[in-house]
Amino acid sequence: MAEPLLKITNLHAEIAEDGTEILRGLDLELNEGEIHAIMGPNGSGKSTLSKVISGHPAYEVTDGEILFRGESVLDMQPDERARAGIFLAFQYPVEIPGVSVANFMRTAINAKRGEEVDIFDFQEELESRMEMLEMDPAFALRSVNEGFSGGEKKRNEILQLAMLQPELAVMDETDSGLDIDALRIVTAGINRIKEQKKDMAVLLITHYQRMLNYITPDKVHVMVEGRIIRTGGPELALELEERGYDWIREEMAGVA
Amino acid sequence: MPENDSVAQLGLDEYKYGFKDPENYLFKSRKGLDEEIVRHISAQKNEPEWMLQRRLKALKHAQKRPWPTWGGDLSGLDFDNIYFYIRPSERVGRTWDEVPEDIKNTFERLGIPEQERKFLAGAGAQYESEVVYHSLKEEWEKQGVIFKGMDDGLRDHEDIVREYFGTVVPHQDNLFAAVNTAVWSGGSFVYIPKGVKLDMPLQAYFRINAEAMGQFERTLIIVEEGAEMQYIEGCTAPSYSQDSFHSGVIEIIVKEGGRMRYTTIQNWSHNVYNLVTQRAKVGRNATMEWVDGNLGSKLTMKYPSCYLMGEGARGEILSIAYAGPGQHQDAGGKVVHMAPHTSSRIVSKSISKGSGRSSYRGLLKVEKGAHHVKSNVECDALLLDEEARTDTYPYIEIEEEHASIGHEATVSKIGDEQLFYLMSRGLSEDEAATMVVRGFIEPLVKELPMEYAVEMNKLIQLQMEGSVG
Ligand SMILES: Nc1ncnc2c1ncn2[C@@H]1O[C@H](COP(=O)(O)OP(=O)(O)OP(=O)(O)O)[C@@H](O)[C@H]1O
Ligand SMILES: [Mg+2]
């Protein structure tokens, strides 16, 4: 097997401000084209992991390594990581008042491609992606995330994913806040993007098995207290749904 | 000192309007302000006696008037170190070819003749103390519009000037209005006859070239009943180690049903004290709008005002200020409701970075008898880092019961989460910060004419380069 797209080894990260350690020796490998799910209790560090992969300045990596296509990203700024092909769909997308979705998307695409996109090509692409996600075209003119409902924000994240076509998509609870129809539309959208860009790898953070009914993961990881403590196939998600996390914790305690 | 050295020392190399011309002046006063200089200015202009008397009266007032103790730090401004009058050329050009070569080239570099060709009804250009160019398209001249340098306005329309001069901003109003009245030179005289609606703006551009220069233009605009017009002013100067002083007075009268919008894009170099008095008297059912963009200068103290004197009058003040390191923008606005059913809106957006400081200073007054007044004040400040500073000084005086007044003020700091979000999409830190700032001022910028909206965004972007991290 070729080298993994993303290889995380013994990752330790703390909150830069007060030194609280959140990630405590995390290992994870993801190959091109694979879909992995990460599940785990509230506060176990899933969002922290996603932000550390993207280079959020609030966290400091104190030990371990993150290799993306064989190269360390630890010294790279968030924008360099993005241009290298890492994308994060946020659990809580931020509002940018006064900046339209279209303007923001165009600036991001120009930054990623390193050249000005043709405005008409861009418009056409944006419209077709919005249609795929069943978004009202009026959203293109609204300020980024401002006054969006929870579900609209998530849809807007996937719109950005569709436009930017990264190598690695980290999705932090994209399913939460979506109603049943929206979940179907958004997951169908993700699958479409994946069909078009087969080598894109996906790291799905979720609390619920239901998202995995639509997007079948190659692997499911369980994260507890800043570590991956168990990895299995899609059946692991079903088991977690049924039994919760305590049994794994207990098993782990037994092993230790 | 060679220009490049002084520019580098001041750390103003991002200021792209800092080039300067050699000084080939017809007359340059000695430094300082006194009666001899005032008399000299008046004599050079061949003015009527009454104007000289006005000047002298204002000078007396200025000499005994205490300096303001509020607002910005004026301790670096020393009248004894300022040239109060410089006459750069013989006469006002009607075409750019009549303007001295150096000066013409400067305005070419600033893009003024091009703008004039493209979208202006008329343009004026002032260089140091004098208007060097003034032109109005023929179609407007035919309709009776007058657009001239103020000196020419006084010469050709003495009766109108005498009727209105100093009626909106009397010299006793404040120290700098008194100084301006004593030494005024240049500025525009504008008269829009009844019912005439200009569909293209008039523009005046102000350029300071000499070091330690004082520029005191005086503008008088009369918008007759039902007439409409837009006026735009821009300003720049080279960067020097010695400070310059700009103190204009703008008087506007908008009569019944008239409409006037006055837009300023102030981009002085960071060694100019910019202390300007702008005021409009607004008649029955008339509308006055001030759009005030303050990006440059060392210290600006400027509060465009509307006196809503006729029933149903409306005043709007939209203010955008950017205070970079070493700058203080003390801006805002003033509205006095003097008649029933008048309405007003003040929207102020300021951005501060580094040691930059922005202040919103506003007065909203509703006089007795002005019932059914509606007014809304909104001021938002954005801080780009920990060091930046902003203050809000809203004064509200209401003497009438039936008034609906809204006031809202917010201060926000450019958020790490916002920057991270944008950077995670591939924008550099500078691009991300610029995007947040542009979004912040967008509601005001979109009210500008397209060409100026583009210009404003460009200027903000220039200011923002290298602003974070
Ligand atoms: N910037 C921060 N400042 C303070 N505490 C933080 C910060 N980031 C994370 N934490 C703390 O670290 C722990 C892990 O948070 P994180 O958001 O990564 O959890 P999570 O697994 O995503 O939880 P959830 O399932 O609720 O989304 C939590 O206790 C959280 O409060
Ligand atoms: Mg989370």
Residues B419 and B469: beta-carbon distance below 8 Å: no
Q: Cβ A164–B442 below 8 Å, yes or no?
A: no
Tell me the two tokens of residue B120: 């202006």
CA B307 to chain A, closest CA, distance in angstroms equals 31
Give percent above pLDDT 90 in chain A: 86
The DSSP 8-state label assigned to residue B402 in this structure reads: S
**Whether residue A223 has pLDDT greater than 60:** yes
Count of domains in chain B?
A: 1
Sign of the CA dihedral with A135 first, then A137, A138, and A139 last: positive
Per-residue pLDDT, averaged over A86-101, amounts to 95
Q: ∠B421-B323-B19 over CA atoms, to 5°?
A: 110
**Whether residue B12 has pLDDT greater than 80:** no
**Whether residue A111 has pLDDT greater than 60:** yes
pLDDT bracket for residue B6 (50, 70, 90): very low
- Select from A20, A48, A222, A229 the residue to mutate for testing ligand 1; criterion: most ligand atoms less than 8 Å from CB: A48
For residue range B196-223, list pLDDT tens digits in order: 999 999 999 999 999 999 999 999 999 9
pLDDT for B468 equals: 45
For residue range B54-81, list pLDDT tens digits in order: 999 999 999 999 999 999 999 999 999 9
Q: Which among B420, B431, B435 has CB closest to A78? A: B420
pLDDT for B454 equals: 81
Secondary element (H or E) of residue B316? strand B314-323
Per-residue pLDDT, averaged over B305-320, amounts to 97
> Per the confidence metrics, is the pTM higher than 0.95?
no
Helix, strand, coil % over all residues of chain B, rounded to 5: 25, 35, 35
Per-residue pLDDT, averaged over B295-312, amounts to 97
Q: Phi and psi at residue B336, in whole multiples of 5°?
A: -115, 115
User: Is B364 part of a structural domain of the chain?
Assistant: yes
Q: How far apart are CA A35 and CA B451, in angstroms?
A: 49
Instruction: Single out the residue of B340, B440, B331, B425 nearest to residue B380, CA to CA.
Output: B440
pLDDT bracket for residue A1 (50, 70, 90): low
Q: Cβ A111–B416 below 8 Å, yes or no?
A: no
Query: What is the topology classification, in CATH, of domain A6-95+169-255?
Result: Rossmann fold (3.40.50)
Secondary element (H or E) of residue B178? helix B175-183
Q: Cβ A79–B423 below 8 Å, yes or no?
A: yes
Per-residue pLDDT, averaged over A234-244, amounts to 89
Residues of B with CB under 8 A from a CB of A: 415-418, 420-429, 431-432, 435-436, 438-443
Any bridge partners for residue A39, and if so which? A222
**Whether residue B10 has pLDDT greater than 60:** no
User: Is B469 part of a structural domain of the chain?
Assistant: no
For residues B469 and B413, the model is more confident at B413
Tell me the two tokens of residue A89: 């769909």
pLDDT for B7 equals: 32
Can you tell me the ipTM of this complex?
0.96
Per-residue pLDDT, averaged over A167-195, amounts to 94
pLDDT bracket for residue B469 (50, 70, 90): very low
Residues of A with CB under 8 A from a CB of B: 51, 54-58, 77-79, 81-83, 87-88, 90, 93-94, 96-99, 104, 107-108, 111-112, 143, 160, 164
For residue range B82-96, list pLDDT tens digits in order: 999 999 987 889 999
Per-residue pLDDT, averaged over B454-459, amounts to 80
Within 8 A of A148 by CB-CB distance, chain B residues are none
Q: Cβ B417–A94 below 8 Å, yes or no?
A: yes
For residue range B248-262, list pLDDT tens digits in order: 999 999 999 999 999
Tell me the two tokens of residue B295: 């990006």
From the CB of A44, is ligand 1 less than 6 Å away?
Answer: yes
pLDDT for B440 equals: 93
Q: Name residues whose C-beta falls within 8 Å of residue B416's C-beta, 6 or more positions apart in sequence.
A: A57, A58
- If one counts every other C-beta atom within 10 angstroms of the C-beta of residue A86, the result is 25
Tell me the two tokens of residue B428: 């550099």
Give percent above pLDDT 70 in chain B: 96
**Whether residue A104 has pLDDT greater than 60:** yes
Tell me the two tokens of residue A174: 């994209």
Residues A32 and A168: beta-carbon distance below 8 Å: no
Per-residue pLDDT, averaged over B126-150, amounts to 95
Q: Judging by DSSP bridges, how do beta strands A71-72 and A59-68 pair with one another?
A: antiparallel
pLDDT for B22 equals: 87
Q: How far apart are CA B211 and CA B20, in angstroms?
A: 10
For residue range A45-88, list pLDDT tens digits in order: 999 999 999 999 999 999 999 999 999 999 999 999 999 999 99
**Whether residue B381 has pLDDT greater than 70:** yes
Residues B314 and B282: beta-carbon distance below 8 Å: yes
Full residue range of the structural domain in which residue B418 is found: 5-464
How far is the centre of ligand 1, averaged over its atoms, from the C-alpha of A22 (Å)?
8
- If one counts every other C-beta atom within 10 angstroms of the C-beta of residue A101, the result is 24
Mutate to test the interface with A, among B386, B420, B428, B460 (most CBs of A within 10 A): B420
For residue range B384-399, list pLDDT tens digits in order: 999 999 999 999 999 9
For residue range B369-378, list pLDDT tens digits in order: 999 999 999 9
pLDDT bracket for residue A2 (50, 70, 90): confident
The DSSP 8-state label assigned to residue B199 in this structure reads: S
- Comparing A85-94, B210-219, B436-445, the range with the smallest average pLDDT is B436-445
pLDDT for A102 equals: 96
What are the CA-CA distances from residue A212 to residues A152, A184, A233, B108, B166 (Å)? 21, 11, 11, 64, 77
Closest ligand relative to A91 C-alpha: 2
Per-residue pLDDT, averaged over B218-238, amounts to 96
Tell me the two tokens of residue B276: 């300007």
pLDDT for B296 equals: 93
From the CB of A47, is ligand 1 less than 6 Å away?
Answer: yes
Mutate to test the interface with A, among B380, B423, B436, B461 (most CBs of A within 10 A): B423
Measured between CA atoms, the residue of chain A closest to residue B435 is A99
pLDDT for B260 equals: 98
Q: What's the mean pLDDT when you consider all of chain A?
A: 94
pLDDT bracket for residue A256 (50, 70, 90): low
What are the CA-CA distances from residue B244 to residues B81, B249, B274 (Å)? 9, 17, 9
Any bridge partners for residue B63, and if so which? none
Instruction: Collapse the DSSP code of B452 into the 3-class scheme (helix H, G, I; strand E, B; otherwise coil) and give the result.
Output: helix
DSSP string, chain A: -PPPSEEEEEEEEEETTT--EEEEEEEEEE-TT-EEEEE--TTSSHHHHHHHHHT-TTEEEEEEEEEETTEE-TTS-HHHHHHHTEEEE-SSPPPEEEEEHHHHHHHHHHHHHTSPPPHHHHHHHHHHHHHHTT--GGGGGSEETTT--HHHHHHHHHHHHHHH--SEEEEESTTTT--HHHHHHHHHHHHHHHHHSTT-EEEEE-S-HHHHHHS--SEEEEEETTEEEEEE-HHHHHHHHHH-SHHHHHHHHHH-
pLDDT for A248 equals: 84
Q: How far apart are CA B398 and CA A25, in angstroms?
A: 65
Any bridge partners for residue B39, and if so which? none
Residue showing tokens 């000066």: B103
Q: How far apart are CA A217 and CA A215, in angstroms?
A: 6
Q: Which among B421, B427, B435 has CB closest to A94? A: B421
**Whether residue A92 has pLDDT greater than 50:** yes
